[in-house]
């Protein structure tokens, strides 16, 4: 019998910050102290708080250590496990209150969350099916197998579950279409392509609780009358793929995948398809083309996949997170599920919180929570005490939301109204030093690179918009550029074939809507209000600091700096080309920008 359990987070984030080294060191120390059969060490899925990884929790006392290293292990074993003293220096310190917190439930990062989909992540060993089953796993499937497919469809419809992959399409409706489509063969496809830059919600779910996704897939299969599924995972997720394979093998062993599951007569087969990693392959029709072995290019809809999908067969395609919600609904019922969330958006949503907040990482929040709570409570506010400027929500397809809308509730419809999008869960916080034009440029360069090249507006339009944004951030913007941007953006949004093109202008359109003055400052005043666009900085020498050492005059390529020896120098703004050489050269910090 073990006296203690130690959970080490082995999500991709913690692994890269050293979770495996921590485990090795810990095992060593335990061995040295002959404590191997007293303390059980478990590698778990992601806890979400990657910013502070590697994370380590000691049960039963529930002490939460963060940013631990292998070198901390001797001390941790000796102090905590042997002597029973908590190692304070490894505890979490709230960045705002400076308070030390030992119990993770008390950390704001966790306490504002509602972890339903992620309930098992970081808690169970994802490579052990028993742990999943003990916590109610596969009960939902069992309930579904006892029901008529139409009843299962009805339940999901009533639950109000909407797709978490981006568009927020009601899952129950999609299932119903697929259920009604005639076909000798039907497929369920799980979209685990997760291409948004910086997003890792689906990865964490797959790594931390793969069985939940499998169970969701099979419930969908039962509902629509399918006997085979594909999980399309990006090849850059080797750990998720490995854990999925393990999970499938274990479920097969337990008779939960295969022939005549739980004696119900229901058969199921689950395949894994590794995706090549192009962003557009996450678009459902491109994804299907990719599974079929063709180039991942979107196809026109209709016909929708539910009618004519994979190899022409009716196909229900859902996102990982959508499917991971399903077992819970089947187990705990519609009423329980609809008690969380808002009128139009039920349940929770997982976000990957990044950017200029103190606590970056993965969080699951109830729908309807405000942006303010996410940024300031969970995210712990803006790093370095800087001023909040905006969040970009929804990744490259999403939009920017300014301070004035901080109290906007996070749900599908409010976000769309604000010009942004729920998207798949990317949430980037920005402070006053982020240039909004540059931000739009960043996303456009992403979408331009990822445009599949099939349709004219997206292929050509994103390139031209990107060129204009580049020009503006380089201080070469023209007066007509804003109207050009608007003209192209509207056309690309209105006439592109797939969601990539249709949403690619969103970052431009929302920044133009909320931060038009920044564009104008760049174009008319040749000034970047955030001070980010290098070519637009104006350089000056602080006469208080300058001692006239002449060093800067030697590096200026256009001889814009003048001044007598030992006297403060000046930069001729007319001549200055903003190369920044003087700034780098001055040892006294006298060269400044504005």
Partner 1 sequence: MLSLTINGHEVKVEPGSTILQAAEKLGIFIPTFCYDPQLAQVGACRICVVEVEKARALVASCCTPAADGMIVHTDSERVLAARQANLSLLLANHPLDCLTCEKTGECKLQDYCYLYGVDESDFVGAQKDYDLDDTNPFYIRDMNKCILCGLCVRICYDVNGAGAIEFINRGFDSKVTPAFDDPMEYSSCVFCGMCVDSCPVGALIPKESIRQARPWELKSVKTICPYCGTGCGLELLVKDNKVVKVRGDLSNPVSRGQTCVKGHFGIDFLDSPDRLKTPLVKKNGEFRETTWEDALELVAAKLKEVKPTEVAGLASARATNEENYLFQKLIRSLGSNSVDHCARL
Ligand X SMILES: Cc1cc2nc3c(=O)[nH]c(=O)nc-3n(C[C@H](O)[C@H](O)[C@H](O)COP(=O)(O)O)c2cc1C
Residues 6 or more apart in contact with residue 413 via CB below 8 angstroms: 344, 345
Q: Is 435 in the site for ligand X (CB under 6 A)?
A: no
3-state secondary structure of 43: strand
Q: Is 282 in the site for ligand X (CB under 6 A)?
A: yes
Minimum distance of ligand SF4 from residue 311's CB (angstroms): 21
* Partner from ligand SF4, partner 1, ligand X, none contacting 181, C-beta within 5 to 8 A by type: none
Burial class (CB in 10 A: 0-12, 13-18, 19+), 302: exposed
Q: Is 297 in the site for partner 1 (CB under 8 A)?
A: yes
Q: Which is nearer to partner 1, 298 or 341 (CB)?
A: 298
Q: Which is nearer to partner 1, 1 or 479 (CB)?
A: 479
d(CA 350, CA 332): 20
3-state secondary structure of 125: coil
Q: Is 496 in the site for ligand SF4 (CB under 6 A)?
A: yes
Q: Which is nearer to ligand X, 44 or 181 (CB)?
A: 181
Query: Which segment (3-11, 102-110, 299-307, 328-336) binds partner 1 by CB under 8 A?
Result: 299-307
d(CA 238, CA 12): 10
φ/ψ (deg, to 5) at 117: -65, -35
What mask, x for binding ligand SF4 by CB under 6 A, covers residues 498 to 517?
A: x-xx----------------
What mask, x for binding ligand X by CB under 6 A, covers residues 182 to 221?
A: ---------x-xxx--------------------------
Q: Which is nearer to ligand X, 299 or 484 (CB)?
A: 299
Among 322, 451, 473, 496, binds ligand X (CB under 6 A): 322
Can you list the alpha helix ranges (DSSP code H) found in 33-107? Answer: 73-76
Q: Is 493 in the site for partner 1 (CB under 8 A)?
A: yes
d(CA 294, CA 348): 35
For 214, other C-beta atoms within 10 Å of its C-beta total 31
Token digits of residue 575: 């001549």
Minimum distance of ligand X from residue 146's CB (angstroms): 25
* Partner from ligand SF4, ligand X, partner 1, none contacting 541, C-beta within 5 to 8 A by type: none
* Number of residues near ligand X (by CB under 6 A): 24
CA 69 to chain centre: 26
Q: Is 177 in the site for ligand X (CB under 6 A)?
A: no
Among 77, 152, 320, 455, binds ligand SF4 (CB under 6 A): 455
In sequence order, the β-bridge partners of residue 592 are: 540
Q: What is the DSSP string of 328-392?
A: HHHHH-HHHHHTSB-SSSBSEEEEEEEESBSS-EEEEEETT-BHHIIIIIIS-SBGGGPPEEEEE
437: Cα within 13 Å, side-chain hemisphere: 32
Token digits of residue 520: 């104008």
26: Cα within 13 Å, side-chain hemisphere: 24
Minimum distance of ligand X from residue 444's CB (angstroms): 14
By CB under 8 A, what part of segment 470-489 binds partner 1? 484, 487-488
Q: Is 167 in the site for ligand X (CB under 6 A)?
A: yes
Among 9, 199, 452, 521, binds ligand SF4 (CB under 6 A): 452
Q: Which is nearer to ligand X, 445 or 538 (CB)?
A: 445
CA 367 to chain centre: 16
d(CA 510, CA 159): 32
Asked whether the beta carbons of 520 and 513 are under 8 A apart, the reply is no
Q: Is 584 in the site for partner 1 (CB under 8 A)?
A: no
CA 43 to chain centre: 22
Chain residues binding ligand X by CB under 6 A are 163-167, 169, 171, 191, 193-195, 279-280, 282-284, 317-319, 322, 424, 498-500
Chain residues binding ligand SF4 by CB under 6 A are 280, 298, 451-455, 458-459, 496-498, 500-501
Chain residues binding partner 1 by CB under 8 A are 278, 280, 295, 297, 299-300, 302, 448-457, 459-464, 467, 484, 487-488, 490-491, 493-497, 502
């Amino acid at each position: 019998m073990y006296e203690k359990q130690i959970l080490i987070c082995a999500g991709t984030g913690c692994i890269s910050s050293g979770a495996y080294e921590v485990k090795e060191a810990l095992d060593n120390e335990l061995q040295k102290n002959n404590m191997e059969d007293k303390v059980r060490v478990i590698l778990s899925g992601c806890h979400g708080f990657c910013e502070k990884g590697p994370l380590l929790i000691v049960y039963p006392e529930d002490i939460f250590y963060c940013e631990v290293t292998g070198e901390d292990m001797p001390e941790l074993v000796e102090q905590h496990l042997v002597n029973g003293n908590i190692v304070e220096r490894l505890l979490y310190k709230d960045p705002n209150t400076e308070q030390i917190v030992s119990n993770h439930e008390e950390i704001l990062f966790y306490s504002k969350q509602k972890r339903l989909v992620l309930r098992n992540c970081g808690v169970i060993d994802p490579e052990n099916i028993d742990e999943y089953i003990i916590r109610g796993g596969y009960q939902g499937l069992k309930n579904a197998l006892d029901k008529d497919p139409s009843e299962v469809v009805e339940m999901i419809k009533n639950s109000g579950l909407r797709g978490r992959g981006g568009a927020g399409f009601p899952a129950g409706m999609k299932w119903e279409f697929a259920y009604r489509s005639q076909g000798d063969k039907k497929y369920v496809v799980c979209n685990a392509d997760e291409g948004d830059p910086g997003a890792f919600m689906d990865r964490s779910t797959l790594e931390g609780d793969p069985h939940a996704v499998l169970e969701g897939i099979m419930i969908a299969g039962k509902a629509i009358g399918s006997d085979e599924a594909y999980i399309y995972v990006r090849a850059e997720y080797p750990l998720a793929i490995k854990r999925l394979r393990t999970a499938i093998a274990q479920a097969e062993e337990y008779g939960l995948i295969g022939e005549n599951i739980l004696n119900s007569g229901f058969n199921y087969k689950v395949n894994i398809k590794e995706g090549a990693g192009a962003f557009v392959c996450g678009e459902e029709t491109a994804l299907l083309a990719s599974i079929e072995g063709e180039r991942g290019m979107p196809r026109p809809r209709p016909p929708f996949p539910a009618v004519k999908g994979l190899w022409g067969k009716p196909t229900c395609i859902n996102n990982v997170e959508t499917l991971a919600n399903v077992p819970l609904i089947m187990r705990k019922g519609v009423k329980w599920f609809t008690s969380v969330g808002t009128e139009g958006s039920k349940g929770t949503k997982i976000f990957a919180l990044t950017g200029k907040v103190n606590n970056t990482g993965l969080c699951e929040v109830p729908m309807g929570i405000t942006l303010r709570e996410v940024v300031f409570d969970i995210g712990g506010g803006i790093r370095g005490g800087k001023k909040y400027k905006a969040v970009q929500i929804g990744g490259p397809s999403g939009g920017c939301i300014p301070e004035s809308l901080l109290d906007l509730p996070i749900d599908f419809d409010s976000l769309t109204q604000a010009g942004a999008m729920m998207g798949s869960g990317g949430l980037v916080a920005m402070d006053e030093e982020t240039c909004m034009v540059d931000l739009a440029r960043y996303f456009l360069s992403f979408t331009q690179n990822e445009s599949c090249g099939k349709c004219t507006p997206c292929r050509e339009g994103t390139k031209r918009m990107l060129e204009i944004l580049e020009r503006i951030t380089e201080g070469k913007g023209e007066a007509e550029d804003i109207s050009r941007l608007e003209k192209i953006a509207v056309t690309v949004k209105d006439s592109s074939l797939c969601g990539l093109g249709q949403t690619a202008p969103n970052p431009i359109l929302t920044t133009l809507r909320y931060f038009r003055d920044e564009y104008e400052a760049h174009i008319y005043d040749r000034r970047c209000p955030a001070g980010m666009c290098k070519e637009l900085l104006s350089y000056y020498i602080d006469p208080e600091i300058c001692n006239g050492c002449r060093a800067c005059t030697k590096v200026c390529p256009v001889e814009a700096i003048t001044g007598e020896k030992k006297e403060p120098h000046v930069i001729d703004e007319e001549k200055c080309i903003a190369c920044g050489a003087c700034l780098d050269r001055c040892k006294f910090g006298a060269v400044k920008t504005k």
